Amino acid sequence: MSAETDTARTAATAAPLRRRGEALENAIYEAALHQLTTDGYARLTMEGVAAAAQTGKAALYRRWSSKEDLVMDALRASLPQARPAPDTGGLRGDLLEVVTGLRTAMFSELGAAVRAIMSELDHQRAHAFLELVLERVVAPTTALIAEVLDRGAARGEVRPGAVTPLVTDVVPALMLYRIKMCGGDTVNLDPAAIVDEVLLPIVRP
């Protein structure tokens, strides 16, 4: 018996929930992301999401014409907003906080949902999702790294001219490669190793 069938049967026996507006949308988004992480993109259905959210299928189709539109809005609503750069007083501490934050995001349920999309869809179909991830996750991370490195350069911890787009791309590129190509996990994505063995040797005077 599939997980989707179990979810639908459980929802059918539960008391109906009367939710509207933002509360209903949040429940739908949560159900969609959970189904992505457990069943994958191909098996995600509007019916399964509706059952898990304990609402009617019509409530979904009034808002979204397809599961692609639903998933896009679920990601857009759930991806974190840009955060300020850490300021621990030292370059290594700041970089550790940035890399740890990115790793935490990648291994969250939201990160697992994004990985499910990227692993199942071809490049053309995944393009819009990829653009959203680049805008809301990768670009803010590289901006944080650039700010931390610029601050380190002002303290003499980073050599002049070391802060370039290629350098700020190193961390997210490495982490995405490890996850997608090497079955990355929290062991081989150790923030201390990434900072000490990769990033600091590149930028130090």
What pLDDT score was predicted for residue 187?
A: 54
What pLDDT score was predicted for residue 58?
A: 93
Using a pLDDT cut of 70, give the percent of the chain over it: 87
Architecture of domain 83-203: Orthogonal Bundle (1.10)
Q: Which CATH number fits domain 3-76: 3.20.20.10, 3.40.50.880, 1.10.357.10, 1.10.3720.10?
A: 1.10.357.10
pLDDT tens figures, 150-192? 999 999 999 999 999 999 999 999 988 888 777 655 556 899 9
What residues does each domain of the chain span? Answer: 3-76, 83-203
Provide mean pLDDT across the span 116-127.
80
On average, the pLDDT of the chain sits at: 86
Q: Is 40 left (phi over 0), alpha (psi -120 to 50) or beta?
A: left
